[in-house]
Amino acid sequence: MTQVKPMRADARRNYERLLKVAAEAFAEHGENASLDDIAKRAGVGSGTLYRHFPTRQALLEAVYVDAVEAMAARADEIARELPPGEALAEWLNELGVGMIQVRGLKALLGSVVTDGSSLAVTACGNSLKAAARRLVEAAQQEGTLRGDVESIDILRLAHGVATASELADGEGRQIRRYLLLLTEGLRP
């Protein structure tokens, strides 16, 4: 078993500074923020950025891992408060709103729902897929969700609904309406 060497103090500072600056840049410019600009604003070279984050997706995941983990945990909180079908709909609403409010998050979650992507096998992807699976299975057992619906279907549809709502008003005010239209079609 190989041991992972702890980061040197300067490498840890660079890593933390890159995350902070990247979060600011993604909030300002979305997922297509310039990686060279992020490195420059963090006071490091591009090579340092790529050593820590070999791809844009790796940087996006590092920036948003806490937000995605919170969304996954929120699924369980909602499931304790509402019946399964309502819990699924409420979680999808919160997920959609989050994708619009946190610039860059929709792109990261888009990689989670893309078939055949190695990015779909990330910590973010795994926790979100597991949360969706728990909600889907509970709603199916309750009889409020069709049996042929898979959790990945729900995540893809939520991504699409967030995109549609963003196109409609730029702020996601239509998400709940679009989800209602969608979920009515998913009932058995």
Q: What is the pLDDT of residues 83-99, one digit of tens each?
A: 999 999 999 999 988 88
**What is the per-residue pLDDT for 5?**
58
**What is the per-residue pLDDT for 174?**
82
Mean pLDDT, range 20-24, rounded to an integer: 94
Question: Which residue from 82, 71, 92, 79 is spatially nearest to 181, judged by alpha carbons?
Answer: 92
Whole-number Å distance between alpha carbons of 158 and 49: 32
Mean pLDDT, range 39-45, rounded to an integer: 94
Structure tokens that stand for 94 in this block: 């919160």
Question: Which residue from 62, 69, 54 is spatially nearest to 20, judged by alpha carbons?
Answer: 62
pTM over 0.95: no
Residue extent(s) of CATH 1.10.10.60 domains in the chain = 7-54
Structure tokens that stand for 54 in this block: 């070999």
Question: Does residue 76 register a pLDDT over 90?
Answer: yes
Structure tokens that stand for 45 in this block: 């070279």
Question: Does residue 116 register a pLDDT over 60?
Answer: no
Question: Which residue from 164, 186, 100 is spatially nearest to 177, judged by alpha carbons?
Answer: 164
The DSSP code for 7 is: P
Question: Does residue 183 register a pLDDT over 80?
Answer: no
Question: Which residue from 4, 63, 67, 70 is spatially nearest to 30, judged by alpha carbons?
Answer: 63
Choose the CATH number for 56-186 among 1.10.357.10, 3.40.50.11540, 3.40.50.2300, 3.40.50.1100.
1.10.357.10
**What CATH topology corresponds to 7-54?**
Arc Repressor Mutant, subunit A (1.10.10)
Q: Is the dihedral of CA 162, 165, 170, 171 positive or negative?
A: negative
Question: Does residue 120 register a pLDDT over 60?
Answer: no
Confidence of residue 3 (pLDDT cuts 50, 70, 90): low
Report the half-sphere exposure of 128 (CA within 13 A, side-chain side): 34
Place of tokens 């998400």: 175
Q: What is the pLDDT of residues 139-177, one digit of tens each?
A: 999 999 999 999 999 999 888 888 888 888 776 778 888
**What is the per-residue pLDDT for 30?**
82
Question: Which residue from 150, 148, 145 is spatially nearest to 188, judged by alpha carbons?
Answer: 145
* 125 vs 52 pLDDT, higher one: 52
88: left (phi over 0), alpha (psi -120 to 50) or beta: alpha
Question: Does residue 34 register a pLDDT over 70?
Answer: yes
Place of tokens 């967030």: 162
Residue extent(s) of CATH 1.10.357.10 domains in the chain = 56-186
